[in-house]
Structure 1
Amino acid sequence: MLLPVLNVDKAASDQGQYTKTIYNFLESIGINVSLFSLIILLLIAFLFKGAFVFLQKTLASYIRFSLIKDIRIDFCNKYKGMKYSYYTNTSIGYLNNIITTEIGRGVGALNRYTVVIGSLIFILIYITFAVIINYKMTFMVLFLSLLLFTLMRSLSRLSKKISLLVSETNAQVQSLLIQTIYNYKYIKATDSFTHIFKQLFAKINKNYIYQFKSVVLTSIPSSIIEPISVLFISGLVLYYVGFQGKTIAEIFVLVIFFYKAFSYIFRFQSDWQKFNASLGGLEVMSKASRILNNNVEKVGKRQIIAFNKAIELRNVNFSYGSKQVFFDVNLAIQKNKSIGIVGDSGAGKTTLFDIITGLLTPQSGKIFIDGIDCSKLELSSLRNIIGYVTQEPVIFNDTIANNISFWECKSQEGPCKKMIKDAAILANCDRFINEAEMGYETIIGDKGI
């Protein structure tokens, strides 16, 4: 945009095609060509450019953080609806890693893609003006840029492969770390950190190596942008000064323009490389979404509000792979009756309760609640009327009141406070809670300490 300003006092025969185009445009809209009008045009052009850059970055940030939020919520809902059998056969670290790390990386890849699109827009704008100024030079540099892009394709493929390995080792690190923290008491009491840390540190080291390689690969295109641009500009200067006999002052603006234009062209390869380096997160998200969609828990539509008569198992058979646990089990549990299920470890006691709650589906046979086939029931309505005390304590890092209410209501409000206290009295723990430092508002850790 500086060319028309610098050429304002030159004769028409000495003005380039680009300068003449700008002058003709101003005259066509009724504006006299002068230094003042050209400076105003220059300011307007750069204001538009600044506004475009601001809008691009703002829109990219909005899209990025909105997507992260929405996709995290979507995956949480997918976890809620997945089959229990799929959950038991899937690494917790893998499921956790998707939400905490891979969604951010995947959306980062989309953000990189918007940067690539933005670069393409700038490239098209600069190439348009470059063709007007010197089409031969423009086509030559475009050819060199395409050649460079072709040579760099192997780097892009390698970056994508390493990105997937980063995602894989992220999940492995999180899996081992979660297990270490969860079993901290046992590991601490038996001084078993050496063994578990040997595995954990090996995974951390692998993750470090893959991340380092990824950064190195993305740095290669970035590091050659400046040398190639300077090499091109040097050739441009030698051509015009050495062969065309022009002075440095005459070609100064031309050199600056081409330097800016082709920096964008060469930078496109760097942006594309960074996009490929973050594709691992996007692929992990996409694959996990497909798998979760194929492992959705099947539920009926009939609602159940209360339990009135009996729970019945009729000719129920269930097996884990080749190991059969239940053989034509028939059982009726009447309302207001207490029964005990006794058996050796692995006999199927927990499996029985998992079948009754709909977590597991028997290979054959039926389960009836008040004469209604469980397969016809909307399972969340069934589970809402079940009180279930597991072998492991289910305690969240929050107040005692919120652990009792499960955040169903605000524990500080009167009606909610009464329901929480009534539940505690029924469980014979009201006295114990009141002896705590802050009563029902005492914070307990997720281990109940």
Structure 2
Amino acid sequence: MNTVKQLIKKYFKNFFYFYRYLRYRVFVVIGLTFLFGLMDGFGLSMFLPLFEIAAQSGEKTMSQTEDESGLLRVFEFLHIDFSLVSMLVLMVVFFALKGLFFYIKSIYDAKVARFFIVSTRKNMLQRFSTLSFRHFIKSDVGAIQNLMTNEINNLLYGFREYLTIVQKGVMVIVYMLFAFAMNAEFAILIMVGGLIFNFLFQWIYKFTVTASRKLVGESNDYQGTIIQLVANFKYLKATGFIKGYARKVVKNIESIEAVNYRLSKLGAITGAIREPILILIVATVILLQVYVRESPLSTIIVSLLFFYRALTNLTDLQTTYNYFLGKVGTMENVERFTNELAEGEEANGKIAFTKLESGLDMREIDFAYGSTNILSGVSLHIEKNKTVALVGESGSGKSTLVNIIAGLLPVDGGEYKVNGQSIETYDRYSFQHKIGYIAQDTVIFNASIYDNVTLWADRTAENLLRFNDAIVKSSMNGFVDSLEEKAETLLGNNGINLSGGQKQRISIARELFKNVDILILDEATSALDSETEKNIQKNIDALQGQFTIVIIAHRLATIKNADSIVLLDNGEILGKGTFEELKLTSRKFERMVEMQAI
């Protein structure tokens, strides 16, 4: 039993890969292909009586004794007149039905391909959206982008090729059945030739799979280098290193194209040798049948039609299979990535979070990345609608603590409660929907101001009112009114048309539009000039008391009005209190204030 399972797993692995997505649709494709081949086979069968009638010097019928294939007996059983007119009519009917089934099959093939790629994309996006943040930050961004763009497209090509392989296989079986019905001995000889032909392709398949896997790895590296080239363009340009980095990208491109060339070369070999070998096999078998076995040429010719169709489909199958093997690396990569997404899926509670009622409580929180401790025994209570600032040197654990507050990272030890309940009991997405997040690196989409603020909300009267309110509260109304296209102005790639302060105001307006309860500011003003920072700070101060605000700040002047300041050092809390209280109780905080001359 285990041996059978291993054989099935080995030889039908690709079939089950696609079957997971398609289910019964695979068998519908096979059924339609079989009917298409069956009609073609019946149509070709009509050539045998036509050849025999022609051989009888114009006689309109043929005798049963001359029908070695038994075709006459079949038509007598069905009460069909075995005449020239009847055979021609039947031939037209069979080929008309063949055309009908071809149309139905082609339409269904397109539907199945569409269903497969949509299902695959949706499945991957759904799994990616539930991927834990902790797992994401350890992932290769270049590989992810390559998978969700190029590799998914390659997978579609691979699926279409596999669909062709299945259909060609069905056609080979159908034509072989007809060939056996016409001349079993001739069929066996052709099958032996076909098997020999198949062995010639095995070494090509082996090299194709190896090249396919190498291509996936090279493509992942290429995506990563391109992402970094775009992200660090300014630095590379300013330091004159852009040409040096471009040479690194060129090497990657050359490696990819070398693999593509190898795959093309292997494909060219299969295309060049298939027809000559096919004709050699057919010619050899005909000579054996006519001069050694002395078989009637008319039967051989009709059998040859079936075998030529069978062998043509077989060689097409082998060629397509070779191209399909070029996508095996993609299939393995997509499956591996999908499994990784499933393993990295974050736990999610069942209780829908509606609003922050009491506050946020962290008790004895521990967190580590691998063997590196980031937070140790952190206890913190954040009251509703109060502003808490987190300060400390780089690496003190501020960002990690904020990520825990936002539900991005689960704690390794201790408790994190929201409204008196463990955060693990809440539906994570409903909780995070109530969080506004504004970072130093603002998120600006290549879309209009309205879409950037509302995240593509429908332009209903209610949403337009909320949009205008958010624009006013973020002090963006004057800027928007000054633009020719107002709220429909496109902001360009990463907000290229905006200043730093305008980007931050867009970010603030977006979070206000969302109707959040918790507002997180992660060094939101550190990259701005002093004047812009003061203006943004006024906007933020105006929001105090309306939201629960958590601020990470290096510039202590921006947090003087916070209700509470928490000083972190090496993952531990060294002190808490108002600005003035912490100056009196913490010598470290006092030195920080003195260094910034506040």
Same fold, TM-score > 0.5, yes or no: yes
Deviation, 1:279, is: 1.7
Instruction: Report the CA distance shift for 1:223/1:47 in structure 2 as closer, same or farther (over 3 A).
Output: farther
Q: What is aligned with 1:315?
A: 364
Is the aligned partner of 1:363 residue 2:408?
no
Instruction: Report the CA distance shift for 1:343/1:114 in structure 2 as closer, same or farther (over 3 A).
Output: same
Is the aligned partner of 1:189 residue 2:199?
no
Q: What is aligned with 1:30?
A: 79
Deviation, 1:237, is: 5.0
Deviations 1:24-46 (A, max 9, x none): 22222222111111111112222
Comparing 119-128 with 179-188, which one deviates more in the overlay?
Answer: 179-188
Q: Distance in 1 between matches of 2:311 and 2:430?
A: 63
Q: What is aligned with 2:50?
A: 5
Q: Distance in 2 between matches of 1:160 and 1:294?
A: 27
Instruction: Note if contact 2:48-2:298 (Cα within 8 Å) is conserved in structure 1.
Output: no
Q: Distance in 2 between matches of 1:205 and 1:47?
A: 50
Comparing 78-87 with 430-439, which one deviates more in the overlay?
Answer: 430-439
TM-score by length of 2: 0.70
Instruction: Note if contact 2:204-2:266 (Cα within 8 Å) is conserved in structure 1.
Output: yes
Q: What is aligned with 1:15?
A: 66
Deviations 1:114-158 (A, max 9, x none): 212211221122212222332222111211212332342232233
Instruction: Report the CA distance shift for 1:143/1:251 in structure 2 as closer, same or farther (over 3 A).
Output: closer
- DSSP-derived class of the 1:398 partner: coil
Q: Distance in 2 between matches of 1:254 and 1:361?
A: 70
Q: What is aligned with 2:479?
A: 432
Q: Which of 336, 361, 364 is matched with 2:385 structurally?
A: 336
Is the aligned partner of 1:444 residue 2:495?
no
Instruction: Note if contact 1:304-1:382 (Cα within 8 Å) is conserved in structure 2.
Output: yes
Comparing 194-203 with 436-445, which one deviates more in the overlay?
Answer: 194-203
Q: What is aligned with 1:54?
A: 103
- DSSP-derived class of the 1:152 partner: helix
Q: What is aligned with 2:129?
A: 80
Is the aligned partner of 1:293 residue 2:338?
no
Q: Which of 98, 111, 115 is matched with 2:160 structurally?
A: 111
Q: What is aligned with 1:99?
A: 148
Instruction: Report the CA distance shift for 1:208/1:148 in structure 2 as closer, same or farther (over 3 A).
Output: same
Instruction: Report the CA distance shift for 1:264/1:382 in structure 2 as closer, same or farther (over 3 A).
Output: closer
Q: Which of 468, 493, 496 is matched with 1:421 structurally?
A: 468
Gaps of 5+ in 2: 1-43, 57-61, 497-598
Instruction: Tell which structure's C-alpha radius of gyration is larger.
Output: 2
Instruction: Report the CA distance shift for 1:5/1:347 in structure 2 as closer, same or farther (over 3 A).
Output: same
Q: Supply the AA of the counterpart residue of 1:12.
A: S
Q: Distance in 2 between matches of 1:140 and 1:252?
A: 15
Q: Distance in 1 between matches of 2:485 and 2:237?
A: 30
Q: Distance in 1 between matches of 2:300 and 2:375?
A: 88
Is the aligned partner of 1:410 residue 2:461?
no
Instruction: Note if contact 1:130-1:258 (Cα within 8 Å) is conserved in structure 2.
Output: yes
Instruction: Report the CA distance shift for 1:326/1:381 in structure 2 as closer, same or farther (over 3 A).
Output: same
Deviation, 1:422, is: 0.3
Q: Supply the AA of the counterpart residue of 2:247.
A: K
Instruction: Note if contact 1:16-1:133 (Cα within 8 Å) is conserved in structure 2.
Output: no
Identity of counterpart residues, as a percentage?
A: 24
- DSSP-derived class of the 2:493 partner: coil
Q: Supply the AA of the counterpart residue of 2:157.
A: G
Is the aligned partner of 1:64 residue 2:113?
yes
Instruction: Report the CA distance shift for 1:259/1:300 in structure 2 as closer, same or farther (over 3 A).
Output: closer
Alpha-carbon RMSD across the aligned residues, in angstroms, is 2.4
Comparing 116-125 with 230-239, which one deviates more in the overlay?
Answer: 230-239
Instruction: Report the CA distance shift for 1:249/1:308 in structure 2 as closer, same or farther (over 3 A).
Output: closer
Q: Distance in 2 between matches of 1:139 and 1:247?
A: 17
Q: Distance in 2 between matches of 1:322 and 1:198?
A: 37
Q: Distance in 2 between matches of 1:55 and 1:167?
A: 35
Q: Distance in 2 between matches of 1:204 and 1:392?
A: 30
Instruction: Report the CA distance shift for 1:67/1:419 in structure 2 as closer, same or farther (over 3 A).
Output: same
Instruction: Report the CA distance shift for 1:125/1:370 in structure 2 as closer, same or farther (over 3 A).
Output: closer
Q: Which of 224, 241, 245 is matched with 2:273 structurally?
A: 224
Instruction: Note if contact 1:5-1:35 (Cα within 8 Å) is conserved in structure 2.
Output: yes
Q: Distance in 2 between matches of 1:179 and 1:321?
A: 26
Instruction: Note if contact 1:307-1:370 (Cα within 8 Å) is conserved in structure 2.
Output: yes
Deviations 1:267-321 (A, max 9, x none): 3322322222222222112111111111111122222211232222211122223
Q: Distance in 2 between matches of 1:27 and 1:134?
A: 20
Deviation, 1:175, is: 1.9
Q: What is aligned with 2:443?
A: 394
Instruction: Note if contact 2:404-2:410 (Cα within 8 Å) is conserved in structure 1.
Output: yes
Q: Distance in 2 between matches of 1:33 and 1:291?
A: 65
Q: What is aligned with 1:158?
A: 207
Q: Distance in 2 between matches of 1:340 and 1:112?
A: 58
Comparing 397-406 with 232-241, which one deviates more in the overlay?
Answer: 232-241
Instruction: Report the CA distance shift for 1:229/1:337 in structure 2 as closer, same or farther (over 3 A).
Output: same
Q: Distance in 1 between matches of 2:71 and 2:296?
A: 24
TM-score by length of 1: 0.91
Q: Distance in 1 between matches of 2:417 and 2:294?
A: 97
Q: What is aligned with 1:141?
A: 190
Q: Distance in 2 between matches of 1:25 and 1:340?
A: 91
- DSSP-derived class of the 1:447 partner: helix
Q: What is aligned with 2:519?
A: none
Q: Supply the AA of the counterpart residue of 2:51.
A: L
Q: What is aligned with 1:214?
A: 263
Instruction: Note if contact 1:218-1:273 (Cα within 8 Å) is conserved in structure 2.
Output: yes
Q: Distance in 1 between matches of 2:88 and 2:436?
A: 77
Comparing 33-42 with 97-106, which one deviates more in the overlay?
Answer: 97-106
